[in-house]
Amino acid sequence: MNSIRRQLVVWLTGALALGIAAVALATYHAALQQISTLFDAALTQIAQAVHLREDWAEAGNVRIAQEEVAFAVRAYDDGGRVFFESGLPSLPPDAPKTLDPGFSVVDTPDGPWRVYTHVTPEGVIQVAQAEAVRDALARELSLRMLLPELLLLPVLALLVAWILKRALAPLEETSARVRERNAARLDPLPTDGVPSELATLVGQVNALLGRLAASLEAERRFVADAAHELRSPVAALALQIQLAERAPTDAARAAALAELRKGVARAGRLVQQLLDLARLEPGIPSEVPGPVDLAQLAREVIGSFAARADAQGVDLGADAPPSVLVTGRASELRSLVANLVDNALRYAPEHSAVTVSLREAAGTVELAVEDAGPGIPPEQRERVMRRFQRVHGDVTAGSGLGLPIAKAIVERHHGSLVLAEARPGRQPPGLCVQIRLPAARAALAA
């Protein structure tokens, strides 16, 4: 398992090691530069301090007295005749006897030598030093500075680990608090004393906990409301069965059975709506959207309600072009139209009309279902969009799920739903459910 703390310790320790190496390298170059400057000055001073005399013939080994540093010295005339040179170290045999004053570098099999040539009227003095001596001294100085840093590196690694443990303690504490949360405990995490780096994460976790709590509460309410709504039809079915069993005549038994069939149909409709609503919950897998002929689908739904409309004396029809394409889920769109038509037929008075109309304009498809019923007062239109909520005083058989299902389907298809009066200024005003959905091309682009 990846550990942030371990990675930080490794990366920070590695960064410290690289920093120490860079410092050591920079120290070496700085020391070498300073040493070279000092030794170059020493070469110059030694060359200028040598006084050539008449007794050059008495040349012997010349040793420059400087602790731990040996210089090679030689003197010669303009013809190249050597008057004297030091013993050990001595200038390389191939070092040129130049008459040009100043510094030069002579490459030898043992490495380069730094040579200073001093020209006087009496002769030429050359003072030289192997550059390896300078490199060795610079390395020694750098290592002396590097050693304490290397010894300090493990201590720094332990210190970094301890600091990270202290710094990451709020993260571990927050993780422990998250682990304590479950379906029975969804209270928000405390934010007092939370570092600013964790504040955003804690805020998002609290928002998620809030959404989860709201979702669970909505699910509990849904289950409770569903149980409450199912209790009445089940009790009615039991009563109708008893009435059928106790019917004294065939006619009474037939009437009880007819009521029983209606009760079964109502219970089946309620169960189907509950299933439809459950399928529309977020996270529930659904069919892949595709092109749907909404006009053909609406005519099929109207055909399935034709017998019921005739029995109620309601003129149910469609006002739609031959084909209107949208991109969506056919089963959900069928449920949408069916719920709207079912609602309209419940409230449509006898000898009235229920019309399903379709129009396509400006990249949208407009679907409208109109009836001549009592309508919904404007102040209650938002309320009836919630589950199991109905117009106050409504005694019509129903569960209050038709419009919430329709609204959920429309939102899943990136559309809008508006409730309005079908016959403004008339009584009863009727209800017009207006839906706008993206047309097929617009929906594909979205």
pLDDT of 317 strictly over 80: yes
Segment 179-217, tens digit of pLDDT = 888 777 788 888 887 777 778 888 888 888 888 887 777
374 pLDDT band, cuts 50/70/90, is very high
Query: Can you give the pLDDT at residue 396?
Result: 78
- Please give the pLDDT value at position 443: 46
What is d(CA 432, CA 370) in angstroms, rounded to the nearest whole number? 4
Mean pLDDT value across residues 238-245: 81
pLDDT tens, residue by residue, 118-143: 998 888 888 888 888 889 888 888 88
What stretch of H or E contains 300?
A: helix 294-304
The answer, yes or no, to whether residue 297 has pLDDT greater than 50, is yes
Q: Using alpha carbons, select from 128, 45, 132, 39 the residue that is nearest to residue 86.
A: 128
In which band, very low, low, confident or very high, does the pLDDT at 446 lie, cut at 50, 70 and 90?
very low
Average pLDDT score over residue span 5-18:
79
Distance CA 401, CA 340 (A): 11
Angle of CA points 97, 102, 108, to nearest 5°: 50
* Domain extents in the chain: 4-157, 196-278, 287-445
Residue 341 is predicted with a pLDDT of: 94
pLDDT tier, 229 (very low <50, low <70, confident <90, very high otherwise): low
CB neighbourhood size of 429 (10 A): 18
pLDDT of the residue at 239: 79
Q: Does domain 4-157 have CATH number 3.30.450?
A: yes
Under 8 Å between Cβ of 95 and 113: yes
Inform me whether the pLDDT recorded for 340 exceeds 70. yes
Per-residue confidence (pLDDT) for residue 59, from 0 to 100: 47
Q: How far apart are CA 254 and CA 296, in angstroms?
A: 38
pLDDT at 284 over 80: no
For residue 63, pLDDT over 50 is answered with no
pLDDT score of 337 more than 80: yes
Angle between helices 131-167 and 169-180 (to 10 degrees): 30
Please identify, in words, the CATH class of the domain defined by 196-278: mainly alpha
Mean pLDDT of 317-328: 92
pLDDT of residue 70: 66
pLDDT at 165: 78
Angle of CA points 258, 264, 269, to nearest 5°: 130
- Residue 91 is predicted with a pLDDT of 75
Looking at the whole model, is its pTM more than 0.75? no
Half-sphere exposure at residue 323, Cβ-oriented, CA atoms within 13 angstroms: 5
Position with higher pLDDT, 263 vs 344:
344
Tokens representing 152 are: 């300090």
Does 89 sit behind a cis peptide bond, omega within 30 degrees of 0 on the bond before it? yes
Query: Which of 222, 215, 217, 237 is CA-nearest to residue 275?
Result: 222
How far apart CA 417 and CA 179 sit, in angstroms, is 41
pLDDT reading at 74 higher than 90: no
pLDDT at residue 212, rounded to an integer: 81
Cβ-contact 310, 341 below 8 angstroms: no
Superfamily for the 287-445 domain: Histidine kinase-like ATPase, C-terminal domain (3.30.565.10)
In whole angstroms, give the CA distance from residue 438 to residue 446. Answer: 9
